[in-house]
Amino acid sequence: MDLAGEASADNYDDEELCSTTSSEGSEGNSSEMEFDEDETTCLFCSKIFKGVNAAIDHITKEHNVNFRHLKSKFKMDQYSFIKLINYIRAENVSPKDLELIQDVLWDDEKYLRPKDYETWLTYDYDELLELPTNKNNQNNENKKELYTIINSLKTKISEQNMLLELASEDMEKMRTGVKNIFAENDISNDDIRAKKASLKPDDSYFSGYAHFGIHHEMLSDVVRTTTYRDALFKNKEFVKNKAVLDVGCGTSILSIFASQAGAKTVVGVDNSNIIYHAMDIIKKNKIPNVTLIKGRLEDTTLPQEKFDIIISEWMGYFLLFEGMLDSIIYARNKYLKPGGILLPNRCTMSLVGYGSDALFKQHVQFWDNVYGLNMSTMRKEVLHEPLIDIVEAKYILTEPNEIANLNLAVVDLDYSNFSYNLKLKCTKSGKLSAFVGYFTTYFELPVPIMFGTSPADKPTHWKQVVFFLEKPQNIKAGDMVTGCITCKRSSNNTRSLDITIKAFGKTNTYYLD
């Protein structure tokens, strides 16, 4: 991807050119589930019932398995029951075996992955009320519960002792390693940061999207959500009878919009556990043509080979943070029909000069006097961390530079590694204390739709990214600020970015992670 601009040599000229690097994505596991009728097959025999409640009554009477008792005995919540159902299916557990179990054997995350979708997985187990126990068996139940608690405590104590031993060994290794490093080398803070960091597993990324707060934030973002809805609803003739793939479907809101816009079939894929709630949302809203799949797209077999439209809300801070575009490129190469379209289909990134004295004092000069103490030593490290915040447009001091233009139909996995030679014309006089980054997203359809995330646009949950300078620089209207910005995928975390901005004779490094 060639995104380099022309070199400049005006009022504030940095002669060094920018450079690029490259990196690749990673893979994981998956499992597929499709929505069914409300018919429910018994967990222990082949009988079929109309609804889960009827099946539970049958299991209680015929197989002597009391779900209400299990809920109380093992303190089970909704996810615990989902794991239990998948455990019974995967291990062919009999009613007698289940009755003898004293410890939770289905706590492994693998039991969140079913063989097939079935109505047991979307049943609201919170509706199960505990059955009253009579006095004759109360003592036996209490003894069983006490036995379970004691065994559980013994197991936890043993695990904690093992962890303490391992932690002690690790601490000793760390002390020795640090001594060797400082004894043999004169290492900068940046070098230490690079050496001590390691690749973070994708599990942490997907588990973050299992929390409800992040979905509330995204759905509450009116600009984000209504733009996607408008792109589909205002182009119903284009969407009609199309096959749609929703990558990273989350709560399935975009899948539902696509269905309501007239899509023939919609497949939503997500590796976060939020998918189980999305299944219930689809069912409660009676969306007939949406299939949801739990798993990483890269390792998932989809129910059809090709799609007319691939839709996704993949954008992160500064557009590229989180690296989800990797999955969109994979989906495009494997599943998009010839002549098909990605939505959005184009995104641009921009940078502008900024000068708010109040913002600089609040986040940078703050360290000069903290309750009467000089903590200015913190400045250097703080300056490496871009501020994610909504900033006021009135403090913009330059015209913007479009530093990248990503056509999603052709962009490759090197998208996050690019350089651009800056040439920012000053529109106001003042003190330039930061550069601000933002992005714009386009749905280039018969009825084109777009939204921006600049300080002048209506605020979104992406906000803006503020790259502070160590010292504010005086500028005048008509001046030209030249330099270079380099963006590359972090070598420590494939979903993070390392950014370098050269301007005013200095090189500033930032880590967006």
62 carries an active-site annotation: no
Place of tokens 């079935």: 118
Place of tokens 């809101």: 253
Say how many C-beta atoms besides its own lie within 10 A of residue 232's C-beta. Answer: 26
- Which DSSP string do the residues of 50-96 spell out, in sequence order? ESHHHHHHHHHHHS---HHHHHHHHT--HHHHHHHHHHHHHHT--HH
Closest among 340, 276, 344 to 304, alpha carbons compared: 340
Instruction: Compute the distance between CA of residue 119 and CA of residue 112 in angstroms, rounded to an integer.
Output: 14
For residue 374, which amino acid is it?
N
Q: What residues form DSSP beta bridges with 432?
A: 473
* Count of residues in the chain: 513
CA dihedral 159, 161, 166, 170 (to 10 degrees): 130
Place of tokens 């940046």: 190
Closest among 404, 389, 390, 383 to 509, alpha carbons compared: 383
Instruction: Compute the distance between CA of residue 142 and CA of residue 291 in angstroms, rounded to an integer.
Output: 45
468, exposed or middle or buried, with CB in 10 Å at 0-12, 13-18, 19+? buried
User: Which residue in the list 184, 322, 402, 444 is annotated as catalytic?
Assistant: 322
- Which DSSP string do the residues of 412-453 spell out, in sequence order? -TTTT-EEEEEEEEB-S-EEEEEEEEEEEEEE-SSS-EEEE-
Give the contacts of 211 (CB within 8 A, at least 6 positions apart). none
Asked if 239 and 259 count as a contact pair (C-beta separation under 8 A), the reply is no
Asked if 433 and 355 count as a contact pair (C-beta separation under 8 A), the reply is yes
305 carries an active-site annotation: no
Q: Which two tokens stand for residue 426?
A: 């000053």
Closest among 327, 336, 275, 344 to 308, alpha carbons compared: 336
| Sheet with strand 307-311: strands edge to edge | 30-32, 290-295, 265-270, 243-247, 307-311, 336-343
User: Which residue in the list 15, 145, 298, 313 is annotated as catalytic?
Assistant: 313
Instruction: Compute the distance between CA of residue 70 and CA of residue 76 in angstroms, rounded to an integer.
Output: 7
Catalytic residues, by residue number, are 313, 322
